[in-house]
Amino acid sequence: MAAMAENEPLDESVSQPNGRIISAESRVNGHALRTSNGQVYRTESNGKISVNGIQQHIEAPCCRDIHGKEPPDGGARAWLVMVSAFLCNGVIFGLINTYGVLHKLLTERMTAQGDAEANSKAALVGSLAIGTTFFLSPVAGCLTDKIGLRLTTFIGGMLASGGLLLSSFSANNINALYFTYGIMFGLGGALAYTPTLAILGHYFKRYLGKVSGFVTAGSSVFTVILPPGLDWLLGSYGLETTLRIMSLMAAFIIVCSFVYKPLHLPLHVPKKKIGRSRLAVFMRSVINVEIWKRKRYVIWALCVPLALFGYFVPYVHMMKFVETSFPGRDVNLPVMCIGITSGIGRLIFGVIADMPGVNRMYLQQLSLVCIGLVTLLLPLTSSYVLLVTFALVMGLFDGCFISLLGPIAYEICGPSGATQAIGFLLGLCSLPLTIGPPVAGMIFERTGSYTLPLILAGLPPLLGSSMLFLMRCVKDEGAPKTANGVAAPQNGDIETSSNGDYRLKAVKSNAPLMSSSENGVSNGYALTNGSASAAKSIGSTENPNGLNGHANGHVDVPDPTTE
């Protein structure tokens, strides 16, 4: 099948085994169908749907794959997507995690200029970058569903690369760096990171855990490689040139965005109700409210941020803890151990997560429990060797936790809701990740010891992991059923058919779907109960499978909400 750009409509008819479809000529001529409520649905020549003469907006699909009914789980393009996502993830978080190299030089420059608050001001630049990346992830999720994975990633790459390039021209102005490095680069990272996780579910299902582990390991690999490289660049060419080379690295995100051709449709179409304001309709068209109707996702999205209040404390304060508890020992070794085993853990637990019978949620709970227990044991450690061992264990389960975020989002919300599910989760996580380390620092300054801060940091992961068991007590009765890995909405607004077309309230759109519908509709038409009477007036015959088949090839699909 020839490659197709995003939002490109079908321009030719597709033959069906037991019915007819509306060809491109019929759509141009304005094929219309009158329903029992008196409304006339017409497909205009521009591909949009009009109801009683008023055009209705339907989300165009990101691409078409009318032959494949499951993610391919392999193939040249799938592996290319995986490598591109690995590079994107590595570049984004590799640059964010290695800001400490730049922080040292910025602090020295500002101190030489007589700034008494040089350390905290320079640290704020890096904090803004990581905080913006996570905090604006919900925006990235909504934007992805609105304009597509490819374009969102492209914009993210442009902002990240442009922010670093502008930073090179304002390296001596800390206030300018707050915007160019902190906000622009952080926003670019947010817009690129969420699609990087979401695209994997379009190409992988059976190997999703392994692939997610490999992709998320990119940040660990780049975090290990970049510090010595950046340190050499700073010593040889200075801060300005180093920032320009970092900008060139971020430009790889732009190149990778062209590979992100999605294979699933964003099936979220807002219901239009009488009395609903235009603002409400617009907000519902931007935000996928269906994911918040799923109790399991709500519990997951609230418990994981709760667990992360103490999650980041050991990573931030480990060097200071080693300096105070084990004077003369290498302060960098435990942090390096965490980074190395985190990458290994993402690969190992990615493989484990794909094994038959393995519950990914239990695996993530196990990772939080282990991280919490190790954090509680850190202040009781009297041996440096034992401390390094704890760091190795912590990194291993950190990799487990990170690698399972994407697969669990797909498992709970399906392909149509996974993008925003990931985005909102990361946005909620930004607050505890930002608040936890400063609070631990304040407690240390008052007590002079890391015993209380680390004990308090170890409790939230244990509490959050325990509360995740609430997911076993709820059932998403309103969750849409899935067919061939594609979520089918419960309200009957969209029905899928085997020719890759989808319909809104019995109106056939020129936008394709990926797979056949669960109820076996194969003629390209599907009617909900709301428009069944219109088809009955044409003449119908009963079908033994419970569907009402009509002489013109229409099929009545019972509304699952009434079953």
336 compared with 505, residue with greater pLDDT:
336
Report how far residue 210's alpha carbon sits from residue 346's, in angstroms, rounded to the nearest whole number: 8
List, in sequence order, every residue forming a beta bridge with 512; answer none if it has no partner: 501
Dihedral class, residue 204 (left if φ above 0, else alpha if ψ from -120 to 50, else beta)? beta
What's the distance, CA 252 to chain centroid? Answer: 19
CA 255, 257, 259, 263: dihedral to nearest 10 degrees?
A: 180
Among 9-18, 33-42, 115-124, 363-372, the range with the most confident prediction by mean pLDDT is 363-372
The pLDDT assigned to 364 comes to: 92
Domain with CATH 1.20.1250.20 in the chain: 71-266, 288-474
With beta carbons less than 8 A apart as the criterion, state whether 368 and 462 touch. Answer: yes
What's the distance, CA 402 to chain centroid? Answer: 12
CATH superfamily of this structure's domain 71-266:
MFS general substrate transporter like domains (1.20.1250.20)
Provide the pLDDT confidence category of residue 27 given band limits of 50, 70 and 90: very low
Q: At residue 146, what are phi and psi to the nearest 5 degrees? A: -85, -45
Lookup result for tokens 């235009």: 278
For the entire predicted model, the pTM comes to: 0.63
H/E element holding 550?
A: strand 548-550
Share of the chain above pLDDT 70, in %: 70
498 compared with 235, residue with greater pLDDT:
235
* CA-based nearest residue to 58, from 161, 180, 188, 146: 146
263 compared with 308, residue with greater pLDDT:
308
Report how far residue 314's alpha carbon sits from residue 401's, in angstroms, rounded to the nearest whole number: 16
Q: What is the pLDDT of residues 107-124, one digit of tens each?
A: 888 888 887 777 778 878
Q: What is the pLDDT of residues 251-296, one digit of tens each?
A: 999 999 998 887 755 555 555 566 677 777 777 777 878 888 888 9
CATH superfamily of this structure's domain 288-474:
MFS general substrate transporter like domains (1.20.1250.20)
Q: What is the pLDDT of residues 525-557, one digit of tens each?
A: 344 343 333 333 334 444 444 444 444 444 444
**Alpha-carbon distances, residue 99 vs 109, 123, 127 (angstroms):** 15, 9, 9
H/E element holding 542?
A: strand 540-542
